[in-house]
Amino acid sequence: MVHDEAYMRRCLDLAVLGAGTVSPNPMVGAVIVCDGQIIGEGYTSPYGGPHAEVNAVRNAMHMLGEEEALQRFRRATIYVSLEPCAHHGKTPPCADMLVRHQFACVVIGCLDPFAKVNGQGLQKLQDADIDTRVGVLEAECRFMNRRFFTRITQQRPYVILKWAETSNGLFAPVEPGQAWISNAASKQLVHKWRAEEDAVLVGTATALLDNPSLTVRLRKGRNPKRVLIDRDLVVPAEAALYDGEAETIVFNAKETDWQAKRKLIALENFPLYLPQNILYQLYLMDVQSIIIEGGVKTLQLFIDAGVWDEARVFVSTASWDQGIASPALNRSPASSVAVGSDTLSYYFNR
């Protein structure tokens, strides 16, 4: 069991390498072990490409040669952080491949809740008399794919709230204007996060006041979709959000106009269940995760609706005499780490 956990942790280390590229697929890692040695490993390719199990098999064949690899598979164990798929999507079923190569054992971190898998991959392996073990580091494997699981089970993206506040809990100055709270290291980290998630959202006031581009300028990676709540379409066309660097989706009450990089989506009864309606529309667009980077009003909108999963809050050493209070989560942080002079706290809604 100790060895099982060590190899599964390696699967998780591999899986995270797919962050920001595999969505709406899950992040998965796979490790092939024969006679106590790793002979192949892989993780899920960017969306549409081979899954982790296929890449691990190919890696073994590259390292050993195809004939030698095929012989070893028959006495090897393959560890995979998520149940092998059982259906034809953009790629063939991984469970069928494992059966075809006659693996001796398959160790699975957690089952896949997707309706076309959900135990069917495991069943294919068992029907082929392959030894199986399920639930190794299950909590960690489920946490790795919390975005995927949320999309599948709740029909909405995984929602991450992000903001910075002063040491005395203030979010912004009383008078409109920009005032940086977090340090440069924290800003770089936010750009890394943007590259890992599918979308980032702000409200009208933030778009007008800060004129953010919401791109990944300080990190290598792809820009997320930009989501704007602009009820009356008052954000001007020359705003940075419309610079063409990434797709921008605008939820409003006036107009629907679907273009390549600028998509206006009019919502009926605009204020009614606004966060829920926005998230459902994004779900239909295959957005699996989103960072809410708006002002207090926008953040509190999602908090009050109960449709948030994770919050990442930077607390600086600065203290202001007056300002606008930060959003209220009414819970203690799950963990905290230092980011330079800032403290970054993580909160979870469940």
CB atoms within 10 A of CB 317: 12
For 8-17, the pLDDT digits (tens) are 999 999 999 9
The pairing of strands 199-203 and 289-292 is parallel
For 240-275, the pLDDT digits (tens) are 999 999 999 999 999 999 988 999 999 999 999 999
Paired strand residues for 264: 250, 257
Residues of the chain with pLDDT > 90, as a percent, come to 86
User: Is residue 313 helix, strand or coil?
Assistant: strand
Q: What is the DSSP letter of 107?
A: E
The pairing of strands 158-165 and 310-315 is parallel
Please give the residue that has the higher pLDDT: either 143 or 119: 143
Q: Which residue among 41, 53, 293, 310 is the active-site one?
A: 53
Q: Which of 84-88, 152-156, 187-191, 334-338 has the lowest mean pLDDT?
A: 84-88
Whether 197 is a known active-site residue: answer no
The alpha carbon of 103 is separated from its chain's Cα centroid by a whole number of angstroms, namely: 31
Residues of the chain with pLDDT > 70, as a percent, come to 97
